[in-house]
Amino acid sequence: MDPLISPEDLSHLKHDRSGVIVDARSGQDARERYGRGHLDGALHVHLEEELSDIQEDLRIGGRHPLPPPERFGSLLGKLGIEAATHVVVYDDQSGASAAARFWWMLRAAGHERVQVLDGGFRAALTTGFPESTETPVPRAKPPYPVTSWQLPTLSMEEVADYVKDPRYVLIDVRDESRYKGIEEPIDTIAGHIPGAINLPYAHNLGPEGFFLPAEELRRMYQPVIAGRPASRIIFHCGSGVTACHTLLAFAHAGMEIPAIYTGSWSEWSRNGKPLAREKT
């Protein structure tokens, strides 16, 4: 199953009673925006409250640490997701906020039948998919049996070791201005992890907000991969959310899903770790 689904093909899932559509739009007003209008039949998931385990001290895991796998399994059951369920997830930022994160979590839980809506919320409305303000009642299932994350995740300590090893490559997907330390609108310190290279996640998208074709993505990332196995390719961002966008791009390109440093810059920058800047 391709990890992306087109807005045109989404209509087929509308008639599949075993399918589940998930609205993963994030932000402080995410619930309000969902209430004002969402794709008909979509259930909402909340990035901060359901897809993260945020600690009072952000030095522990950064801004969006992963929740315990068992807690995520309980959420999936409440959403009516079981092993055979076809899941489609969308947001309003071409997958970056936080549809790709939910996709990655499902894949890391061992679930295969999950796709991100290419182009997102507006693209579906443009193709005529109905919008609704009604909140559907999910057909709850038993908790999904998730006991561990089955895709590679790395700790801050592991990243600190691997970034010194030329067999590994650490890739920061934030905007260039944040990577260079020119600005930092979210976290407390500007800059990047020394040794990391910058490939903004926005490069995965064409001008209309759809993912580039698989072949173009392979051509873009092959020089960086340089023959490394996926376990030695590490992606991070500000808090472990938008990095999943590039992991999704790898899967769409038919490449193995690399590792992710989920704590990302929001954890690294709060723990007195070395930092680099490239101000111009």
Only one residue has tokens 């549809």, namely 99
Instruction: Determine the average pLDDT of the residues in 108-130.
Output: 97
Residue 35: predicted pLDDT:
98
- Whether residue 91 lies inside any domain: the answer is yes
Is 90 exceeded by the pLDDT of residue 197? Answer: yes
30 and 67 part of one domain: yes
**Environment class of residue 11 by beta-carbon count within 10 Å: exposed (0-12), middle (13-18) or buried (19+)?**
middle
Nearest alpha-carbon partner for 68 in 57, 53, 83: 53
45 and 159 part of one domain: no
Residue 206: predicted pLDDT:
98
Strand partners, 271: none
CA atoms of 105 and 8, how far apart (whole Å): 25
Instruction: Determine the average pLDDT of the residues in 78-98.
Output: 97
Only one residue has tokens 């690399």, namely 258
Contact assessment for residue 263 and residue 62, using Cβ atoms and an 8 Å cutoff: yes
Instruction: Determine the average pLDDT of the residues in 220-224.
Output: 95
Residue 116: predicted pLDDT:
98
Residue 99: predicted pLDDT:
98
Is 90 exceeded by the pLDDT of residue 134? Answer: yes
75 and 190 part of one domain: no
- Whether residue 84 lies inside any domain: the answer is yes
Is 80 exceeded by the pLDDT of residue 23? Answer: yes
At which of 98, 132, 166 does a domain end? 132
Q: 188: which DSSP letter?
A: S
- Whether residue 224 lies inside any domain: the answer is yes
Alpha-helix runs per DSSP H in the chain: 7-14, 30-36, 47-50, 69-78, 99-108, 120-126, 156-162, 176-180, 214-225, 243-252, 264-268
Q: How many domains does the chain have?
A: 2
Is 60 exceeded by the pLDDT of residue 33? Answer: yes
Active-site position among 237, 241, 247, 249 = 237
Contact assessment for residue 250 and residue 274, using Cβ atoms and an 8 Å cutoff: no
Confidence of residue 279 (pLDDT cuts 50, 70, 90): low
Lowest-confidence region among 14-23, 126-135, 207-216? 14-23
115 and 69 part of one domain: yes
The dihedrals phi and psi of 97, each to the nearest 5 degrees, come to -150, 80
- Whether residue 137 lies inside any domain: the answer is no
Confidence of residue 44 (pLDDT cuts 50, 70, 90): very high
Range of the domain at 78: 4-132
Residue 13: predicted pLDDT:
73
Q: 276: which DSSP letter?
A: B
Instruction: Verify whether residue 244 is a known catalytic residue.
Output: no
Is 60 exceeded by the pLDDT of residue 280? Answer: no
174 and 67 part of one domain: no
Instruction: Determine the average pLDDT of the residues in 199-211.
Output: 98
- Whether residue 215 lies inside any domain: the answer is yes
At which of 73, 103, 132 does a domain end? 132
Residue 278: predicted pLDDT:
86
- Whether residue 72 lies inside any domain: the answer is yes
Confidence of residue 18 (pLDDT cuts 50, 70, 90): confident
CATH code, domain with 185: 3.40.250.10
Residue 124: predicted pLDDT:
97
- Whether residue 229 lies inside any domain: the answer is yes
At which of 72, 102, 132 does a domain end? 132
- Whether residue 280 lies inside any domain: the answer is no
Strand partners, 131: 39
Average predicted confidence (pLDDT) for the chain: 96
